[in-house]
Amino acid sequence: MELISLVGLMAAFCTTASFIPQAVKTIRTKQTNGLSLGMYLILTMGLSLWLTYGIFIKDLPIILANSITLAFSIIILVLIMKYR
Amino acid sequence: MELISLVGLMAAFCTTASFIPQAVKTIRTKQTNGLSLGMYLILTMGLSLWLTYGIFIKDLPIILANSITLAFSIIILVLIMKYR
């Protein structure tokens, strides 16, 4: 694999995985007062649009990365609305 | 413009803009206890890798979207480290 493809894969891995520690922290602590409801509303909408885009252009990396991030984004969004 | 390109553009706009309300909220309230330091560390690294990838493959949308998101991610990261 070329080095730059590896950089792209690592980039996608990091931006997708970054939401895991936030979801884990929020599930554990139930502390949502510092989290922005607006951020997770817009993010969830954006990720749903990315998923739609990926399905339409049949791009597996876009579909995979955004499905996973969307799942975490929805979890965090639901927790913000539950514990606010 | 084709409808699907518009969906992609809206997707990129939403996922980029979603960090604005979080940055504004954190700047205003200085409340960072619900925010995950791990998330913003991994996200900042991931966005830096995306930017590197975009510069290397000379893709302007990737460069633009990730530069803006990276700026907000760094702001939120610095505030988390400052107010923790």
Q: Model confidence over A15-73: pLDDT tens digits?
A: 999 999 999 999 999 999 999 999 999 999 999 999 999 999 999 999 999 999 999 99
- Identity of residue A78: V
Please, which residues 9-48 of chain A have a Cβ atom closer than 8 Å to chain B? Answer: 10-22, 24-26, 29, 31-40, 42-43, 45-47
- Residue A8: pLDDT band with limits 50, 70, 90: very high
Tell which residue, A41, A43, A73, A13, has the closest CA to residue B16: A43
Which residue of chain A comes nearest to B79, CA vs CA? A34
Distance CA A66, CA A60 (A): 10
Distance CA B63, CA A63 (A): 21
Distance CA B67, CA A44 (A): 20
Q: What is the pLDDT of residues B24-77, one digit of tens each?
A: 999 999 999 999 999 999 999 999 999 999 999 999 999 999 999 999 999 999
Tokens describing residue B10: 């809206």
Q: What pLDDT score was predicted for residue B84? A: 83
Instruction: Answer yes or no: is pLDDT of B1 > 90.
Output: no
Contact list in B for residue A40 (CB cut-off 8 A) is: 18
Contact yes or no for A16/A35 (Cβ under 8 A): no
Which helix (H) or strand (E) element contains residue A31? Answer: none
The alpha carbon of residue A64 is apart from the nearest alpha carbon of chain B, in Å, by 15
Residue position matching structure tokens 């996922």: B15
Contact yes or no for A51/A67 (Cβ under 8 A): yes
E-strand ranges in A1-84 read: none
Which helix (H) or strand (E) element contains residue B75? Answer: helix B60-83
Task: Tell me which of A43-47, A61-65, B17-21, B78-82 is least confident.
Answer: A61-65
pTM for this prediction: 0.93
Distance CA B26, CA B72 (A): 11
Report the 10 Å Cβ neighbour count for B59.
14
Tell which residue, B5, B16, B26, has the closest CA to residue B65: B16
- Whether B83 and chain A come into contact, CB under 8 Å, resolves to no
Tell which residue, B53, B65, B70, has the closest CA to residue A18: B70
- Whether B67 and chain A come into contact, CB under 8 Å, resolves to no
Residue position matching structure tokens 């809206």: B10
Picking from A28, A49, A57, A84 by the largest number of B CB atoms within 10 A of its own CB, the best residue to mutate is A49
